[in-house]
Amino acid sequence: MNGLADRTVFIYMSKRFYVLISALLCALGMSLSAHAQQNAGAAPASAAAEPQLADFIVAIVQHEPITNSQVRAHVLSLRQQYAGQQQPPAEQLRQMALQQLISQSALAQRAHEHGLRVDPQTVQQAIATIARNNGMSVVELQKVLSEQGIPFSTMERDIGQQLLISQLRERTLDPTVTVSNAEVEAYLAQFSGQTDPGQQQINLAQILIAVPENATPAQEKALEAKAQDIYTKAQAAGADFFALAQANSDDPAASATRGVMGARPASRYPDLFIQAVTGLRAGAVAPPVRSGAGFHIIKVLEREQSDMVVTQTRVRHILLNITEQQTEQDAINKLLADKHQIETGQATFEMLAQEQSQDASAKDGGDLGWVVPGMFVPEFERVMNQLKPGEISDPVATRFGVHLIQVLERRESQLTPQQQREVARESIHQRKVEQAMDQWVRDIQSSAYIEMRNPPQ
């Protein structure tokens, strides 16, 4: 299907200052759902801790304001990320939320400078998905937001910016990251004899000893000695790594997470971390390693291996291109009419795909065959993954046009050697993009005009 099968992975901003769009929406949605469930009883603690205030501007990025209601909405999603853990102090959460929103605004404005846009229909589809996934209607979602003193427009703006940032990253950062065949072979060799290499689950904890960018050699040497001292203590019998992290780590989240980074596929950790713990058993601590941020002392908490199996989806679609004669809204309206015809039995998906789809799959009734994760662009794949077999999506806009998607079947399948190489290539690309993300964000934010505002007295 032409470029739709580009090897594009939805990398979600900096691990420290950004969240995945889907994770952000899900977190906000779950948080709102929790508030909705509590609505009939006592007021939530977070609401009690944050009294209703008139909205006001807290910062200006370039020419766009960031309001207090935006910060409060973002705090909700941060609280959900710390669910089940000790919550950071309220002011620390607020500052984290504000810094994330400042970076988000700078990136979204850069996206506008590149001529990128997100249509209102796509934003409303994302909001409808949040509501549906949390067992409520959009109207009920609006009510919950209102009860928290958060304008619905704040949520719309935040989602729109996140989608814009995704487009910007795909256009300006992803193409600069390449993966060689030699890297793929080395990656496979590293995981030789293991299950699906990119999906090997590993849970790490870290203590970060930050090194300032302008540190002198003497300062850096002193910090390295401090890291080495902590490493020695962490290796001692009965040492409490988590207490050491809370007491010594310069990671802002360490006080709440105790240094635990969480179980995730090895591909979601930086190369530096994986190389440091290669060959270490669960419970072992690696010597300090140096990154651009400072010195890291890393402990292996758990290692898991998943079966060499991948979930495949058989999917079909109808694609309408955007042209001067056919706007995006025209395509959306036409596909909404197609969906209605299919659901009311007036036409079949296969027939409409053959008649209308502007894609090579049209001759096959839009059938794209069996696909594995990572084959499609994020907007397409995200919606596809949410569909149950037989379900048809609302129109989905991507850079290739507007799609109507139907999932036909799902199955578990063994990875072939070629698929293993594709997984390895995807994992390496994903990791390299994530490693480049922090600098990419810093470069864009440093070029933006930022003005902080004091709250009204």
Domain at 14-23+54-195+417-456: CATH code: 1.10.4030.10
pLDDT of 199: 59
Give the closest residue to 161 by CA, choosing from 210, 111, 216, 208: 111
Range with the poorest average pLDDT among 124-138, 221-235, 327-341, 363-377: 124-138
Residue 136 — pLDDT band, cuts 50, 70, 90? Answer: confident
pLDDT of 132: 67
Q: What integer is the mean pLDDT of 139-150? A: 82
Range with the poorest average pLDDT among 79-83, 112-116, 225-229, 331-335: 79-83
- φ, ψ of residue 57 to 5 degrees: the values are -85, 130
pTM: 0.51
Residue 303 — pLDDT band, cuts 50, 70, 90? Answer: confident
Residue 88 — pLDDT band, cuts 50, 70, 90? Answer: confident
- For residues 354 and 362, the answer to whether their CB atoms sit within 8 Å is yes
Domain at 196-303: CATH code: 3.10.50.40
Q: Are strands 64-67 and 294-303 parallel, antiparallel or unpaired?
A: unpaired
pLDDT of 308: 52
Strand partners, 295: 209, 290
Q: What is the pLDDT of residues 6-47, one digit of tens each?
A: 222 222 233 322 333 333 333 344 344 444 444 444 444 443
* Bigger pLDDT: 79 vs 362: 362
pLDDT at 305 over 60: no
The DSSP symbol for 98 reads: H
pLDDT at 198 over 50: yes
- CA of 447: how far to CAs of 11, 156, 172, 246, 440, in Å? 23, 26, 16, 34, 11
Instruction: Compute the distance between CA of residue 297 and CA of residue 74 in angstroms, rounded to an integer.
Output: 31
Token reading at 176:
């600069």
Instruction: Compute the distance between CA of residue 384 and CA of residue 389 in angstroms, rounded to an integer.
Output: 10
In the chain, CATH 1.10.4030.10 covers 14-23+54-195+417-456
Residue 297 — pLDDT band, cuts 50, 70, 90? Answer: very high
pLDDT of 134: 66
Token reading at 299:
């402990």
- For residues 11 and 430, the answer to whether their CB atoms sit within 8 Å is yes
pLDDT of 353: 96
Of 223-237, 296-310, 401-415, which has the strongest mean pLDDT?
Answer: 223-237
pLDDT of 209: 94
Give the closest residue to 104 by CA, choosing from 139, 143, 73, 83: 73
- For residues 361 and 316, the answer to whether their CB atoms sit within 8 Å is yes
Q: What is the pLDDT of residues 320-356, one digit of tens each?
A: 998 888 888 899 999 999 999 999 999 999 999 999 9
pLDDT of 127: 81
- What CATH topology corresponds to 309-414? Chitinase A; domain 3 (3.10.50)
Q: What integer is the mean pLDDT of 171-198? A: 76
The average confidence (pLDDT) of the chain is: 80
Q: Is 137 exposed, middle or buried (CB count within 10 Å of its CB: 0-12, 13-18, 19+)?
A: exposed
pLDDT of 15: 31
Q: What integer is the mean pLDDT of 206-224? A: 91
Instruction: Compute the distance between CA of residue 313 and CA of residue 371 in angstroms, rounded to an integer.
Output: 5
pLDDT of 5: 31
Token reading at 231:
């490493």
Q: Residue 5: left (phi > 0), alpha (psi -120 to 50), or beta?
A: alpha
Could you tell me where the beta strands, DSSP code E, fall in 155-266?
201-210, 260-265
Q: What integer is the mean pLDDT of 440-448? A: 90
Alpha carbon of residue 293 to chain centroid: 21
Q: What integer is the mean pLDDT of 186-199? A: 61
In the chain, CATH 3.10.50.40 covers 196-303, 309-414
> Which sign, positive or negative, has the C-alpha torsion 423, 296, 81, 148?
negative
Token reading at 124:
């409303």
Range with the poorest average pLDDT among 73-87, 90-104, 269-283, 392-406: 73-87
Residues near 96 by beta carbon (within 8 Å), at least 6 away in sequence: 78, 88, 252
Within 134-214, residue ranges assigned H as helices are: 138-147, 152-172, 181-190
